């Protein structure tokens, strides 16, 4: 027994001594606390952040969306930093271990602060609208990138200072190294300064069609620190040093107010009108998709690249045909001056409803009434043709078209369109509870319809918000 007593005594001493003065009890408590904060981070990510993103997505203010997206990372990192700080407060390390934990806490807080500052640069730029009148958007993006790099460097330097690593000697060493590098990197700085001049002078921007004699002709895709990427008309990419644009004349074709272009489009004899119509429909669908995904239309060069045209001029011909057709609007002189003409499909008129199917299924639609041809278009999702005389005392006759709004709140006294099992009916909602719904016909010859929602399939398609009398 003495052996066991000695072992348990030893076990108790080791448990109390722990690691570097912190008992295993404190370590377990600290780990538990940190785990709780990790769970809190998961809650913040899944619920709070998602709720905020869903709320700001409804706003037309781009600043709200940019701020939310930018701060998502630091906000998710905060519970980890705070959790580690709280957890480490339960640990009473001695000597170097205590200093290490203190440095680690300071480093995490420093990283968090600089991360917040780094992420705030982009949304902050959106608030300063007047800058875009002085600086081009491309130059502003360049400055933002430079500021972000500077913040990262400062954050790294501050973290090194916490760990006792002096950055002064490092900077001095880098200064001597930089002098040596500068002597052999004159072209690099030449291109950098030239790129800044191009942006400041607003010679061109991303998306512009430019021509530099003896150098390049094509569409600008990116303006970098050292070089500019241009998409040539043969779909190849060219990377041009920025000094070429500073030393030579740049013709910006996209800024031309009026120009005459002549080209020949080759068609095979076997090319039919159906094939031409097909390719134009495909181009139209491509433009719609690009607007939905990116928020802006493609350029002629991008269309030509996707569909394998030899030049943007071929794409322009198809765009003009789509404009003539009345589905596109084209702004002359703008590389992305393409917009979709909104189509008025009209409000559907529902006739005989198919059993079990959606009320707005194609087979139920007998015709459409253009919105411009009726005064009830606002707030009307569809018209329903009335069958029978159960609502004549409410002024609703057979073959009348009742205007239905699917979003209006269903309440007592409303004329509702109800689906009971597979049958759709128009009645006045007399009362509604969890156990009983009473639908009242507006004809004394008919009895009320009583429905138990728990045992019968009952749903509401909408409420009546108007009436049209069809004399056709």
CATH number at residue 460: 2.10.109.10
Residue 47: phi and psi, rounded to 5, are -115, -60
Question: Which residue, chain included where needed, has tokens 């108790």?
Answer: 12
Contacts of residue 11, defined as CB under 8 A and 6 or more positions apart, other chains included, come to none
Please state, in angstroms and rounded to a whole number, the distance separating the CA atoms of residues 53 and 43. Answer: 14
**Residue 176: predicted pLDDT:** 46
Residues 226 and 309 reside in one and the same domain: no
* The dihedral formed by the CA atoms of 244, 245, 250 and 254, expressed in degrees to the nearest 10: 130
Under the banding of pLDDT at 50, 70 and 90, the label for residue 373 is low
Question: How many angstroms separate the CA atoms of 313 and 45, rounded?
Answer: 49
- CA–CA gap between residue 102 and residue 85 (Å, rounded): 9
Q: Which of 304, 322, 340 is the last residue before a domain boundary?
A: 340
Distance in angstroms (rounded) separating the CA atoms of residues 61 and 208: 27
SS3 at position 420: strand
Q: Which region, left, alpha or beta, applies to residue 335 given φ > 0 means left and ψ of -120 to 50 means alpha?
A: alpha
> Are residues 328 and 437 part of one domain?
no
Note whether 147 and 56 are same-domain residues: yes
C-alpha angle 270/271/276, rounded to 5°?
Answer: 165
Domain that holds residue 291: 273-340
Q: For residue 178, what pLDDT is reported?
A: 53
Say whether both 156 and 23 belong to one domain: yes
Model's pTM, two decimal places? 0.37
Q: Based on the domain organization, do 327 and 418 belong to the same domain? A: no
Among 111-115, 300-304, 370-374, 426-430, the range of highest mean pLDDT: 426-430
Question: Residue 211 CA to chain centroid, in angstroms?
Answer: 34
Q: Is residue 262 part of a domain?
A: no
Is position 330 within any domain? yes
- H-only helix segments in 261-385: 273-294, 300-307, 312-325
Q: Identify whether the C-beta of residue 428 lies closer than 8 Å to the C-beta of residue 384.
A: no
Bridge partner list, 385 = 401
**φ, ψ for residue 324 (rounded to 5)?**
-60, -35
Residues 369-394 have a mean pLDDT of: 78
Per-residue pLDDT tens over the stretch 28-72 = 777 787 788 777 777 766 667 666 666 666 666 666 667 777 777
- Catalytic positions, written as ranges: 390, 427
Question: How many CB atoms within 10 Å of residue 325?
Answer: 13
pLDDT tier for residue 440 given thresholds of 50, 70 and 90: very high
Query: What percentage of the chain has pLDDT greater than the value 90?
Result: 4
Residue 43 host element (H or E): helix 24-43
Whether 111 is covered by a domain: the verdict is yes
Q: Are the C-beta atoms of residues 386 and 402 closer than 8 Å to each other?
A: yes
Q: How many domains does the chain have?
A: 4
pLDDT at 127: 62
Give the pLDDT confidence score for residue 430 in this predicted structure: 92
Same domain, 392 and 409: yes
The DSSP secondary structure of 162-205, one letter per residue, reads HTT--HHHHHHHHHHHHHHHHHH-HHHHHHHHHHHHHHHTT---
Angstrom CA distances, 324 to 126, 280, 328, 330, stand at: 38, 12, 8, 10
Mean pLDDT of the chain: 76
Task: Quote the CA–CA distance of 302 and 300 in Å, as a whole number.
Answer: 5
- Which pair of tokens denotes residue 312? 């943007």
CB atoms within 10 A of CB 191: 23
Residue 186 lies in a domain: no
Flag whether 121 is in a domain. yes
Residues 209-218 pLDDT 10s = 888 887 888 8
C-alpha 300/C-alpha 282 separation (Å) is 14
Is residue 119 in a domain?
yes
Query: CA-CA distances (angstroms) from residue 72 to 56, 302, 345?
Result: 13, 33, 41
Per DSSP, 22 falls in state B
Q: Calculate mean pLDDT across residues 14-25.
A: 62
Q: What is the mean pLDDT of residues 415-433?
A: 88
Is residue 248 domain-shared with residue 302, that is, in the same domain?
no
Last residue of a domain, one of 254, 289, 323: 254
CATH at 239: 2.30.30.60
**How would you classify the pairing of strands 382-385 and 401-405?**
antiparallel
Q: Work out the average pLDDT over 461-466.
A: 88
CATH number at residue 316: 1.10.10.10
Q: Which of 243, 238, 241 is nearest to 218 (CA)?
A: 238
130 or 46: whose pLDDT is higher? 46
- Do the domain assignments include residue 94? yes
The alpha carbons of the chain give a radius of gyration, in whole angstroms, of 35
Q: Is residue 195 in some structural domain?
A: no
Q: Where is average pLDDT lowest: 143-152, 179-188, 329-338?
A: 179-188
Q: Could you tell me if 168 and 225 lie in one domain? A: no
Report the C-alpha gap between 147 and 431 in whole angstroms.
Answer: 65
335 with 431, same domain: the answer is no
Give Cβ neighbours of residue 343 (< 8 Å, ≥ 6 apart).
327
Give the domain-ending residue among 154, 174, 194: 174
Residue identified by tokens 């007998």 is: 366
Asked if 235 and 362 sit in the same domain, the reply is no
Q: What is the pLDDT of residues 161-171, one digit of tens each?
A: 777 777 666 55
Same domain, 250 and 288: no
* Rounded CA separation 161/159 (Å): 5
Confidence (pLDDT) at 175: 52
Q: Is the same domain home to 9 and 152?
A: yes
Residue 203 is encoded by which pair of tokens?
């010679």
Model pLDDT, residue 139: 62
Residue 78: is its pLDDT beyond 70? Answer: yes
3-state secondary structure at position 102: helix
**3-state class of 58 per DSSP?**
coil
Determine the average pLDDT of the residues in 243-247. Answer: 76
């Amino acid at each position: 027994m003495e052996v066991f007593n000695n072992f348990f005594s030893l076990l108790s001493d080791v448990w109390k001594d722990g690691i570097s003065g912190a008992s295993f009890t404190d370590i377990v408590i600290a780990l538990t606390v940190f785990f709780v904060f990790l769970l809190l981070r998961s809650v913040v990510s899944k619920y709070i952040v998602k709720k905020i993103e869903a709320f700001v997505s409804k706003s037309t203010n781009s600043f709200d969306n940019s701020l939310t997206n930018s701060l998502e990372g630091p906000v998710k990192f905060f519970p980890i930093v705070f959790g580690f700080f709280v957890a480490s407060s339960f640990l009473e390390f001695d000597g170097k271990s205590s200093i290490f934990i203190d440095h680690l806490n300071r480093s995490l807080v420093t990283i968090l602060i600089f991360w917040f500052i780094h992420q705030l640069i982009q949304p902050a730029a959106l608030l300063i609208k007047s800058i875009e009148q002085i600086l081009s958007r491309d130059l502003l993006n360049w400055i933002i990138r430079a500021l972000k790099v500077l913040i990262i460097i400062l954050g790294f330097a501050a973290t090194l200072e916490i760990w006792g690593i002096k950055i002064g000697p490092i900077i001095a060493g880098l200064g001597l190294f930089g002098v040596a590098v500068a002597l052999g990197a004159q072209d690099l700085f030449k291109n950098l300064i030239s790129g800044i001049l191009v942006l400041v002078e607003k010679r061109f921007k991303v998306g512009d069609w430019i021509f530099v004699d003896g150098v390049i002709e094509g569409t600008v895709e990116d303006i970098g620190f050292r070089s500019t990427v241009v998409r040539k008309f043969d779909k190849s990419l060219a990377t041009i040093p920025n000094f070429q644009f500073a030393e030579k004349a740049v013709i910006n074709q996209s800024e031309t107010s009026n120009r005459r272009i002549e080209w020949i489009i080759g068609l095979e004899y076997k090319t039919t009108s159906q094939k031409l119509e097909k390719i134009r429909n495909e181009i139209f669908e491509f433009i719609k998709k690009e607007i939905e995904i990116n928020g802006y239309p493609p350029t002629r060069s991008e269309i030509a690249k996707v569909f394998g045209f030899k030049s943007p001029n071929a794409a322009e011909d198809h765009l003009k045909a789509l404009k003539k057709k009345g589905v596109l609007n084209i702004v002359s002189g703008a590389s992305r001056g393409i917009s979709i003409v909104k189509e008025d499909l009209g409000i559907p008129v529902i006739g005989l409803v198919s059993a079990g199917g959606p009320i707005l299924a194609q087979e139920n639609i007998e015709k459409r009434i253009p919105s411009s041809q009726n005064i009830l278009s606002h707030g009307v999702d569809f018209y329903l043709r009335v069958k029978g005389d159960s609502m004549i005392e409410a002024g609703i006759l057979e073959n009348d078209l009742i205007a239905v709004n699917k979003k209006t709140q269903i309440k007592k006294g409303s004329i509702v369109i109800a689906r009971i099992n597979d049958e759709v009916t128009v009645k006045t909602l007399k009362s509604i509870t969890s156990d009983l719904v009473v639908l009242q016909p507006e004809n004394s010859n008919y009895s009320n319809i009583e429905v138990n929602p728990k045992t019968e399939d009952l749903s509401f398609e909408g409420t009546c918000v108007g009436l049209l009398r069809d004399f056709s």
